[in-house]
Amino acid sequence: MTPMQQIAILPYRKVIAIAMRGLRFRLVKTFLVTCCIALALAFLTYILCSNGMTAHLADRASDALQQRLAREGMLDQLKSADKQSQTAWMLGIALLISFVGIVNAMLISVTERFREIGTMKCLGGLDSFIVKLYLIESLFQGVVGTVLGMVIGVILAYVEGVGRFGGDTWNLLPPGELAVLLVVTFGTGIVLTVAGALYPAWRAAKMEPVDAMRSEV
């Protein structure tokens, strides 16, 4: 038999089973990392939704609401340059929190297992197996955390909206725009999570096993 035949490219089904076993065993850490992803995404989704609502006050709010807001001087205030730059700031901060929070959480959770990666290489694990393992693990946490965060963010934005704009809130964000916004946040969450895990996993997979086993974080 040739070497190629005796070294397995494990099917995804088996890699998924191994990844899930790890996630289950590290339940507390899995939970914390997922929460971190969810929190960051909740903030991002909330900012985007609530910005979207205020942006549409002029063209979608009912006359009654427009009059009330005009009376309170809120309409002018919302249009002011100050408010606009504040909005941009908040969005920037939300993105930064997502980036730093998620990438950092994933980076730590992978680098603290470099030794395990080195050991798997000693047992005959292929580089591609290691990358797949962490791809699945981070995808799982990314999807759960991101969806959870998006749900929380949307709820927060609408609860606050109802408080400020009453029943008009439901009409402020056009469904198409809301859909685009959700797709973008979902993509952001998944990309940050997977990239944050795959980069260190790929680096560890490429290392000589001793170097991976030696690095303790």
Partner 1 sequence: MIDDVTTSAQIVRAIGVRKVFRMGDEEVQALKGVNFSVRRGEYIALMGPSGSGKSTLFNMIGGLDKPNAGRVFIDEVDIAALSTIELAWLRCHKIGYIFQTFNLIPVATALDNVMLPLLFADVPATDAQDRAVELLKKVGLGERIFHKPVQMSGGQQQRVAVARALANNPAILLADEPTGNLDSKTGHAIIELMRELNESEGVTVISATHDYKMLSVSDRIAWLTDGVIERFAKRDELDIKEGSTDVRH
Judged by CB under 8 A, the stretch of 61-69, 138-146, 157-165, 202-210 that binds partner 1 is 202-210
Q: According to the binding rule CB under 8 A, does residue 29 interact with partner 1?
A: no
C-alpha torsion 30→104→112→203, nearest 10: 120
Q: What are residue 12's phi and psi, to 5 degrees?
A: -55, -35
Select 172 or 204, whichever has its Cβ closest to partner 1: 204
Burial category of 22 from C-beta neighbours within 10 Å (exposed 0-12, middle 13-18, buried 19 and up):
middle
Residue whose token pair is 């962490």: 134
Q: How far is the CB of 138 from partner 1 (least distance, A)?
A: 16
Neighbours of 113 (CB within 10 A): 20
By CB under 8 A, tell whether 27 contacts partner 1. no
Beta carbon of residue 214, minimum distance to partner 1 (angstroms, whole number): 10
Check residue 2 for interaction with partner 1 (CB under 8 A).
Answer: yes
Minimum distance of partner 1 from residue 174's CB (angstroms): 47
Can you tell me the distance from the alpha carbon of 97 to that of 37, in angstroms, rounded to the nearest whole number?
10
How far apart are alpha carbons 109 and 106 in whole angstroms? Answer: 5
From the list 52-60, 64-72, 111-119, 164-172, the region that binds partner 1 by CB under 8 A is 111-119
124 or 174: whose CB is closer to partner 1?
A: 124
Question: Which amino acid is it at 112?
Answer: E
Count of residues touching partner 1 (by CB under 8 A): 31
CB of 216 to partner 1, least distance (A): 11
* Binder among 58, 89, 208, 217 for partner 1 (CB under 8 A): 208
6 lines the binding site for partner 1 (CB under 8 A): yes
Q: Which two tokens stand for residue 129?
A: 């197996």
When asked if residue 210 is in the footprint of partner 1 (CB under 8 A), the reply is: yes
Shortest Cβ distance from residue 204 to partner 1 (Å)?
14
87, 119, 171, 215: residue in contact with partner 1 (rule CB under 8 A): 119
Amino acid at 193: T
CA angle, 54 then 181 then 35, to 5°: 105
Cα(212)–Cα(82) distance, rounded to whole angstroms?
Answer: 51
- List C-alpha distances in Å: 63 to 60, 70, 207: 9, 10, 65
Q: Residue 147 interacts with partner 1 (CB under 8 A)?
A: no
Interface ranges with partner 1 (CB under 8 A): 1-8, 10, 14, 21-22, 25-26, 115-116, 119-127, 129, 208-211, 213
